[in-house]
């Protein structure tokens, strides 16, 4: 009987030790970093005036490399025409920086929104643009 209890206690100790090691390993695993997209561009333009919109993409403290970008597009949409926006593919101007140049033919309020997926995360900041 004592031999069974001893075996049981030893088995329980081994099991608890193994679980404790697994927990400490998962704590030491790299934590995901935030995908940050800093969208910049003019917020007021004249009709037919050209504006440059730029997205600076970082993951943690580092600029995202082009190989890590799964998708990047800019969506331009007039406020009263939701769901009818146009998607534009930006050009890469340097590591982690993408831009488009566009103009607006009609006065009104528009949104310029970047859609960025990289390293398994997605970010969609936007800028509201008033066209006079």
pLDDT digits (tens, 9 = 90+) for 36-84: 999 999 999 999 999 999 999 999 889 999 889 999 999 999 998 878 8
With 0-12 CB in 10 A as exposed, 13-18 as middle and 19+ as buried, what is 118? buried
DSSP assignment letter at 31: P
Count of structural domains, the chain: 2
CA–CA distance, 53 with 115 (Å, rounded to integer): 13
Would you state the pLDDT for residue 33?
82
Q: 83 and 25, same structural domain? A: no
| Model pLDDT for residues 89-107, shown as the tens digit of each residue | 999 999 999 999 999 999 9
| Model pLDDT for residues 7-23, shown as the tens digit of each residue | 555 665 665 665 555 55
Q: 106 and 70, same structural domain? A: yes
Tokens standing for residue 57: 């993409």
Query: Which range marks the domain in which residue 111 is found?
Result: 35-131
What is the Rg, in whole angstroms, of the alpha carbon atoms belonging to the chain? 26
Cβ neighbours for 61, distance < 8 A, ≥ 6 positions apart: none
Give me the CATH number covering residue 42. Answer: 2.60.40.10
Tokens standing for residue 9: 């206690």
Q: 121 and 74, same structural domain? A: yes
Q: 124 and 102, same structural domain? A: yes
């Amino acid at each position: 009987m004592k031999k069974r209890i001893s075996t049981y206690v030893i088995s329980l100790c081994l099991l608890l030790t193994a679980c404790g090691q697994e927990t400490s390993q998962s704590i030491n695993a790299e934590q995901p970093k935030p995908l940050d997209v800093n969208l910049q561009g003019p917020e007021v333009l004249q009709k037919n005036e050209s504006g440059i919109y730029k997205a600076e993409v970082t993951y943690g403290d580092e600029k995202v490399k082009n190989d890590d970008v799964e998708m990047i597009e800019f969506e331009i949409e007039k406020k009263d025409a939701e769901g009818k926006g146009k998607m534009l593919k930006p050009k890469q101007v340097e590591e982690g920086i993408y831009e488009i140049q566009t103009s607006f033919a009609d006065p009104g309020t528009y949104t310029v929104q970047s859609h960025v997926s990289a390293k398994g995360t997605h970010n969609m900041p936007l800028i509201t643009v008033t066209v006079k």
